[in-house]
Amino acid sequence: MQAISPILIGLGLLLPAADAVRPPEADPARLQETLRDRRDPAGQSQAALLLVQCPTEDAEIAVRQALEQTEEVDVFSVLAGAVRLCQDDRFAEELLAALRSVRPVVRQAAAEALAVLPHAALTSRLKDTAADDKLELPVRQAALWVLGRSGRKDAAPILLEHLEGDNEALQGCAADALADLAGQNFGVDAARWREWWGRHKDMSNERWLEMRLACQTSRVRRLEGDVERARMQVLRLQQQVYTRLPVADRTNYIQLALEQDDPMVRALAGHWALELLAGADASQQKVLVQVLFRLSHDGAVEVQRAAVLGLGRVSDPAVFERLKTLVGQGRPPVRAAAARALAQQAREEGPDSKARREEVVPVLRKALDDSALEVVVEAAEGLEALGALNAAPVLAGLLHHHSEAVRQTAAQALERVADGAVLNDLMTALDDASPTVRFSLVGALAHAARDGGGLSDEQQKQVLGRLETMLQHDPDAGVRSRTATALSECGSPAQLAALWRCVTAGEDGRVQEKAWQAFLEIAARSGSLPLAQEWDHTMASAKQGPRRLQFLMEMQTRWQKRTETKAAAISAQELLVQAQLDLGKWAAAFPQVRDLLSRPGSETEMDQRLRWLLAVGEQALQEGGRAEALRAVQEARPYLPRAGALAEAFDKLEKQASP
């Protein structure tokens, strides 16, 4: 074997410490046998680590002898890895000897171990090795590599000496080692490296180590970023391969994805399995359910949680038992997911739905006593969905908890289930110091006021008044923004004045935008033409031209879609035309006037529409639009015989616009 995974070596950390009661496997003789068992790489790594950690003389002798036998490459590699992991400098001599091996794998394993050993004489020994021209070039290069990776300050002069030497191969190796040591890369430019050393040679050891730590930390961050980008690329490639596969081959590909080390790929496999499940035949469904079942045992909590939620859509006795087990076992996110999945299964209609519901309800009631809040929340919501519990009072009681995280989770759940029964708790909790808690409580109030929460008129008025106050006075912009959204869902025309003040005040941009959207929503929902006329006048007086146009356009568009407000939509269109002409937007008004002229109307209404068309032509002419002015005259011709004095005005406009 050429390499041993560091993960296998790390498994040894899970074994008992050397001073603990040692099981039979810790006997040095037996460990040596395990060390040479090439069929069990994990056992080899564990045995190597136990031998290095073992304080007996027999174990030390066994390690030394094995490190001297460099022809057994796999044994040497795992032992060198164990020495590196323990940073045990008792075996520095054996590793220095191995550094001169003709086998590259042995040389590399020895170099990696030597680079981390705290051996006092290591630098001088490596200096001698690198300077010995009787040794093969790869051995001298390995010595320089170790000096660079060691991070020792006294290694820098040695590397500089070889950088300025006449051996080109050693020059390149010394330059690479200096780059590892310094965290900078000047290549083989000896002058720049000398300048760098001149700035750092007088540093104290503490300051040198601080610099090294900062450099290594930056390198770790960069490498972590590279790894994350590589993972994302692998994920994209997996998705591309999957989408290009024939549907018949996708099930097999999903099974292969389960073997991937990356939990994100396994999570993707679970997502694919859920996608295929609905349209799969009986044999495929069985395989896909097994995929989800297997992922419900996954070591990554997010993968396991997603699989458990997916199992909630599977009607199968084994799955049902698995979910019941998970509600009381495993990590909190998985228990919470199992509670939700069980509630979902109990809501499904079927011949055994009643019996299943009777079995699920006790399980969820027991979950209400769970130590994890997220499990309690899911169980309470599930019981409410099954009609076995009003979850709102249970969650409202958690709003008084001393932990902000608990209050936040409860408030988020109340956004889905709040009703009139917990109104007083919600109103009291709005004084919470946490903006995130208040943010969710605003949504809970909106739910209670909007979705059949059973509020009386007085309670509805109380809720809307409190939301108005929060919109104007809450110290957090995010909460004020959410309050505006809540008012758009449950507010009445009485809140328009407060929303308008928020729109026109020096408010945070996102709050202004949400308040304006709420204003439009409430006004459109009212379907009241007098209300639109009132606010059209208010916006004109406040010289809010752009908002005035948007307001009237929204009213026209939304009212046109509802049968009961179509008549009001025409009146809103007329208000829009007048507003556009007031602001000189004749090009936008022109198609609106044409549309109005095509509609039936009284003599007074038709006269007003012609006046608007005349204004369009006159404004177009003032801006040099002769063709548009003449087009306005042509649009008016069919109506002019009844227009009286307006006919003369259009004739005059035609003469002025004619070339």
Report all structural domains of the chain as residue ranges with CATH numbers, in order of start: 6-204 (1.25.10.10), 255-389 (1.25.10.10), 588-659 (no CATH)
Q: Which of 590, 585, 588, 554 shows the shortest CA–CA distance to 572?
A: 554
**Which tens digits make up the pLDDT trace of 285-306?**
889 989 998 999 998 999 999 9
Contact of 464 with 492, CB cutoff 8 Å: yes
pLDDT surpasses 50 at 7: no
Write down the pTM of the prediction.
0.57
Greatest mean pLDDT range, 48-57, 468-477, 602-611: 468-477
Averaged pLDDT, 301-323: 89
pLDDT attached to residue 9:
37
Structure tokens at 488: 């758009």
* Lowest-pLDDT range of 35-44, 426-435, 520-529: 35-44
Averaged pLDDT, 44-68: 88
pLDDT surpasses 50 at 8: no
Q: pLDDT band at 643, cuts 50/70/90? A: low
What is the C-alpha R_g of the chain?
39
**Which tens digits make up the pLDDT trace of 109-123?**
999 999 888 887 888
Contact of 511 with 480, CB cutoff 8 Å: yes
Question: What value, to the nearest 5°, has the Cα angle with vertex 101 and ends 96 and 107?
Answer: 70
pLDDT surpasses 70 at 542: yes
pLDDT surpasses 50 at 2: no
pLDDT surpasses 90 at 55: no
Q: pLDDT band at 644, cuts 50/70/90? A: low
pLDDT attached to residue 471:
94
**Which tens digits make up the pLDDT trace of 90-114?**
998 999 898 898 889 999 999 999 9
Contact of 601 with 570, CB cutoff 8 Å: no
**Which tens digits make up the pLDDT trace of 112-157?**
999 888 887 888 889 898 888 888 999 999 999 999 888 888 888 9
pLDDT surpasses 70 at 245: yes
Q: Is 190 exposed, middle or buried (0-12, 13-18, 19+ CB in 10 A)?
A: middle
pLDDT attached to residue 229:
92
Q: pLDDT band at 211, cuts 50/70/90? A: confident
**Which tens digits make up the pLDDT trace of 252-285?**
999 999 988 889 999 999 999 988 888 888 888 8
Structure tokens at 302: 């997010």
Average pLDDT over all residues of the chain:
87
Structure tokens at 483: 């309050």
Structure tokens at 120: 């006092």
pLDDT attached to residue 201:
86
What share of the chain has pLDDT > 90, as a percent?
41
Structure tokens at 331: 């990590």
Q: pLDDT band at 488, cuts 50/70/90? A: very high
Averaged pLDDT, 548-555: 95
**Which tens digits make up the pLDDT trace of 563-609?**
999 999 999 999 999 999 999 999 999 999 999 998 888 888 888 99
Residue 473's alpha-carbon distances to 244, 480, 519, in angstroms, are 55, 8, 18
DSSP assignment string, 347-410: HS-STTHHHHHHHHHHHHHHHTT-SSHHHHHHHHHHHHHTTS--HHHHHHHGGG-S-HHHHHHH
Q: Which of 566, 588, 574 shows the shortest CA–CA distance to 536?
A: 574
pLDDT surpasses 70 at 481: yes
Contact of 41 with 8, CB cutoff 8 Å: yes
Question: What value, to the nearest 5°, has the Cα angle with vertex 129 and ends 205 and 48?
Answer: 80
Count CA within 13 A, CB hemisphere, residue 220. 6
The Cα 28–Cα 373 span in angstroms is 49
Averaged pLDDT, 602-618: 90
- Residue 37 DSSP SS3: coil
Supply the angle between the helices 263-277 and 282-295 in degrees, to the nearest 10.
150
Averaged pLDDT, 10-28: 45
pLDDT attached to residue 17:
38
605-611 contacts: CB < 8 A, separation 24 or more?
Answer: 606/639, 606/642, 607/643, 607/646, 608/574, 610/636, 610/639, 610/640, 610/643, 610/646, 611/646
Residue 155's alpha-carbon distances to 123, 206, 217, 478, 569, in angstroms, are 7, 16, 21, 55, 84
pLDDT attached to residue 12:
42
pLDDT attached to residue 453:
62
pLDDT attached to residue 10:
41
pLDDT attached to residue 25:
44
Q: pLDDT band at 31, cuts 50/70/90? A: confident
pLDDT surpasses 70 at 186: yes
DSSP assignment string, 498-544: HHHHHHHSS--HHHHHHHHHHHHHHHHHHT-HHHHHHHHHHHHHTT-
What share of the chain has pLDDT > 70, as a percent?
95
Averaged pLDDT, 31-47: 85
Averaged pLDDT, 10-15: 39
Q: For the chain, count helices (H), then strands (E).
A: 36, 0
pLDDT attached to residue 355:
83
Q: pLDDT band at 222, cuts 50/70/90? A: confident
pLDDT surpasses 80 at 16: no
Structure tokens at 155: 């290694």
Averaged pLDDT, 474-491: 94
